[in-house]
Structure 1
Amino acid sequence: MTQPPVPSAQSPQSPPSLRSDDGPPADHVIVLFGATGDLARRKLLPGLFHLARAGLMPPRYRIVGTAPAAGAPTDAEFRAHARQAVAEFGRSRPEGPEWEAFEAALSFGAADTGAAEPLLAAVREAEAALGGRPHRLFHLAVPPVAFRSVVALLGDTGLAEGGRVIVEKPFGTDLASARALNAAIHAVFDESRVFRIDHFLGKEAVDNVLALRFANGLFEPLWNREHISHVQIDVPEHIDIQGRARFFEGTGTFRDMVVTHLFQLLGFIAMEPPVALEGDALRDEQAKVFHSMRPLDPAHVVRGQYTGYREEQGVDPASETETFAALRVGIDNWRWAGVPFHLRTGKALAEGRHVVTLGLREPVLRMFPLDARATAGGRCNELVIDFGDPGSITTRLLVKEPGPSMRLTDADLVFNYRTSFAAQNFLEGYEHLLLEAMRGNQALFTRSDGVERLWEVAAPLLDAPPPVEPYAPGSWGPDSIEALVAPYRWHLPDRRATPS
């Protein structure tokens, strides 16, 4: 059989990374489990093609799709599927020599438990085409119930030997299940080869938090309880459950979003300075934050459910599953003792946003009387990090309003990625993390001890959750969330109060 030409990466066009391992990855065979599923269609196949166009794929690579044998496509059908996925969800059209080279790298091999020969043959053929000893990277874009069986298949067939594995969230649903999943993975892959992926951590703004704090002498001295009064991590979603009742009824917003996304952001915001911008050092500091977190108090949690959720097809008419969660988190360490972290996320809310706000303490001396302020919003001393793609950083401060009187008004200093850099340099979360996994850099991936500690922190809430409270679709959640953050206020909606 004639082998398709081996695609080669183009010249790199991305800006330097924070870490030193920013060269092209070594030659790879990438195996996508669930290659015909929604995640691969929307994110993985378009993301891999964008990396290829940007010159960030290995010099020589192959991508092998796999799924159960029932209804499995041929190589030609899988290539057609990939073309359609890239056309619909990609940032570049599937055309030209770049697409021809990428398409030629695609093949398919079905795999079922105990019947994985088509996949084995496809991997052998891909490795023979590359020559040498290419790395293997397995991406488990499959439902959580299939994680263990896929990992066992990789171990039983010998495919796992020397390879790395990307595991999608959720990483368990409680402490016991997280420990069982980690044990099953570690029976085949040691922790240095496990990449638990959270696309939030692949956003440019996460790396930029590190740059903001540790590369600028202006901010790190302020990054503590002496100068910061409170922190908010706000990730509202405008969409509802979009027909995923079966998944959502078994998971809920807290398990789906807070443990796997918002707590991870909290770890980056609250960490101590690492000794180096490397995987082990960064994850060590995150783990210290997680171990400093107090167990969640159900009295400091609001669970909500949007009106109409129980009418969704497949939802229990008496469901107590939360579609919204807001909570107060405490961290018992020198840097953050006494500073509340307020977290909020949910479905069917007023906007879709990804925002972290650090509220700065007011000056001790009130040189300016309160009535000198042109705004009564109380939002004048803040640092706002927007994690939306590609993101921005806003410093909110008070300035003198022009005129004869000493009258204050609020103003913004804004850094915006979109207007500051060329758009072609941006990598979406999955693209960034796929690249780092090929490089073997675990800095932006979750470690097993961190996962287990977060489920331990969550145990009091999971054991005794407060009842769900209704909220209207298009609102910002149940009314009781205002009492949760008092004496502060939610920084979304992002509307300035009018003068009194």
Structure 2
Amino acid sequence: MSTNQPPHDASRTTQSAKVPSHPHGAASPAGRHPAPPCTLVIFGAGGDLTKRLLVPALYNLAVDRLLDDGMQIIGVNHGERETKAWCDDLHDALQKFAADKASTFHAGKLDDSAWNWVAQRLSYMAGEFEDDGTYRRLAQQLGGEARGGVVFYLAVGARFFEPIVERLGKAGLLSEGDGMFRRLVIEKPFGADLASARDLNRHLRTFVKESQIYRIDHFLGKDTVQSILALRFANAMFEPVWRREYIDSVQITASEVIGVEGRGKLYEQTGAFRDMVPNHLFQLLGMVAMEPPNSFDAEAVRDKKAEIFAALKPLTPDDVVFGQYANGPGGVAYRDEPDVAKDSRTETYAAARVQIDNWRWAGVPFYLRTGKRLTARSTEISVQLKSVPFLLFRDTPVVSLTPNILTLRIDPSHGMSFDFNVKTPGAVVQIGAVRSSFDYDDFFAEQANVGYETLLYDCMLGDQTLFQRADGVEAAWAAVDGVLHRALGAALPVHEYTAGTEGPAQADALLARDGGAWRALAQAAPKKP
């Protein structure tokens, strides 16, 4: 048990004074060791992100014995309440999630010893985010000079990023020294366009070094996303053909069957394009398109991703299609959702044709699409290879050859498939399309995961590989800024599509002019028998 523990917080008088060691008393999983002792300070302790993702992720890390016994968790939020009341609220939510989502938690039920381990390290501190007094009290609770490691997690709206960071900096809470690290975690949006992204980065770097900033994109916390690099660089059969000479096009899809789910007010300010394209979908594009790094060192990987974003050809209105769902079998119209304007022009669907101006990818289109109230929920990447010459089959009944497509399934099913051609049985030469597939569940034990475990663990370790860097963020916004801010100020047209379908017809035309077509969403999200 580590002796480097932050000072005990007197507010925990409602709980046992004994702080238990790790549940089960067993070692961490092979090849992994507990993160160093630290204090995690969560701004927005009463919010949905903390309840649904951060605390469940911490619980799963505790079950896997990947947190140090010296860890402490301080929740900061407006509104007075007792630490025990906060703990009880988190416990109730965790129990519900464990019952509803077996794949999210070990054994599909709550492990009381693991929860008690987490609960004994929780403390609540009331405070307004823009009140200097909050940060003086926080400094006292952290223990004077706040020695040891501290991670400040901003689970708050973007409007609070700058005031919180400024007050942390002025209170001296972001200063590092011997034996003490200070890390700052922020969630997207990292700005709303290029200008605001630059302003945010400038403000952050006034008070904290870039090496201390961890910009989270939860897509990168998914094992299936991280496996893209393993697929490319650990298999001799893929990397040699991963270039313009062999690849015809790439499709990246993130579709949902749900609507805005009560987030109409927020969604009206954002829309599908800003919400998904320059961050989540570009991050997937970066993993697919980046050059091989010389190591898996964080900066080596992030350098290669930043090169890809810098090489993106700026989008024009001809490269983008926006849509908005109307009444249909998939649900009510977007304009009928709560807190949505009756004449709203906010897009709930966005498709884009993206080009990368570098040697490897010149001439290869990357088609991106995302939307709500579509036919199926699916996050996938499909890499279509170029067709082979038809010469060999000109004197046979074969009319056409199905293109070879490698598909990486990220959500909700996890795996990979490859479409290719074979000769069908019989005396006559006929070609039939077949599919070879693999599912993670068939080869590996299911791991409890809400998508934040790896990200939190890496942040505590100081590994920034899966976190965005300022230059990459700004390069991504630069690629889309011409669409967000057209020269004449005219808005892009927003085309209607029926809820429960595959999106607006205009998105089909985006590919048809290149001779291509979207993969069917029902095909993209196969269901297991």
Fold equivalence (TM over 0.5): yes
Residue ranges of structure 2 left out of the alignment (5+ in a row): 1-9, 99-104, 177-181, 327-332, 525-529
- Provide runs of 4+ in structure 1 moved above 6 Å: none
Aligned position for 1:19: none
RMSD: 2.2
Aligned mate of 2:427, from 404, 429, 438: 404
Q: Greater shift after overlay, 95-104 or 237-246?
A: 95-104
Unaligned segments of structure 1, at least 5 residues? 17-21, 128-132
Q: Tell me which of 113, 134, 151 is aligned to 1:97.
A: 113
Aligned twin of 1:80: 88
**Equivalent residue number for residue 312 of structure 1:** 337
Question: Which among 502, 508, 514 is matched to residue 476 of structure 1?
Answer: 502
Which residue of structure 2 aligns with residue 144 of structure 1?
158
Equivalent residue runs for 1:161-172 within 5 Å: 161-162=175-176, 163-172=182-191
- TM-superposed deviation, 1:126: 13
1:66 to 60, 69, 76: 76
SS of residue paired to 1:385: strand
SS in 1 for 2:452: helix
Verify: 1:453 aligned to 2:496, yes or no: no
Alpha-carbon distance in 2 for matches of 1:186, 1:231: 36
3-state DSSP of counterpart to 2:207: coil
Q: Tell me the equivalent position of 2:245.
A: 226
Counterpart AA for 2:278: V
Map 1:325-344; keep pairs closer than 5 Å: 325-344=350-369
**2:302 is aligned with 1:283:** yes
The answer on whether the counterparts of 2:41 and 2:76 sit within 8 Å (CA) in structure 1 is: yes
Offset at residue 23 of structure 1 (A) = 3.1
Distance 2:238 2:264 in 1: 43
Cα 1:126–1:474, aligned 2, differ >3 Å: closer, same or farther? farther
Moved more, 399-408 or 289-298: 399-408
> What do residues 78-114 of structure 1 show as CA deviations (whole Å, max 9, x unaligned)?
1101201211224253443222111111111122222
Q: What is the identity, as a one-letter code, of the residue corresponding to 2:504?
A: P
Choose from 452, 464, 471 the match for 1:442: 464
Seen in structure 2, the aligned counterparts of structure 1 residues 410 and 235 have a Cα distance that, compared at 3 Å, is: same
Alignment check: 8 A CA contact 1:83 1:94 kept: no
Could you tell which deviates more after superposition, 360-369 or 284-293? 360-369
Could you tell me which amino acid in structure 1 is paired with residue 474 of structure 2? Answer: E
Give the distance between the partners of 2:274 and 2:30, measured in 1 at CA. Answer: 35
Tell me how far apart the structure 1 counterparts of residues 459 and 48 of structure 2 sit (CA, whole Å): 21
Pairwise CA distance, 1:24: 2.2
Between stretches 159-168 and 405-414, larger displacement belongs to: 405-414
Further displaced range: 252-261 or 382-391: 382-391
Q: Check whether the contact 1:46–1:85 (CA below 8 A) recurs between aligned residues.
A: no
TM-superposed CA distance for 1:401, in Å, is 1.8
What is the SS of the residue equivalent to 1:187? helix
How far residue 27 of structure 1 moved from its aligned partner, in angstroms, is: 0.4
Cα distance change on mapping 1:214 and 1:193 into 2, 3 Å? same
Partner of 2:133: 115
1:350 alignment partner, one of 375, 378, 382: 375
Q: How far has the Cα of 1:195 moved from its partner? A: 0.6
Question: Is 2:224–2:410's contact at 8 Å kept on the other side of the alignment?
Answer: yes
Is the contact made by 2:348 and 2:372 (CA closer than 8 Å) also made in structure 1? yes
TM-aligned CA deviation for residue 196 of structure 1: 0.5
Identity %, equivalent residues: 38
Distance 1:478 1:165 in 2: 40
Name the amino acid aligned to 2:35: P
Give the direction of change, closer, same or farther, for the CA distance of 1:379–1:85 in structure 2 (3 Å limit). farther
Q: Which moved more, 1:236-245 or 1:363-372?
A: 363-372
Q: How many residues align?
A: 481
Contact 2:379 2:412 in 1 (8 A): no
Residue in structure 2 matching 1:321, options 343, 346, 350: 346
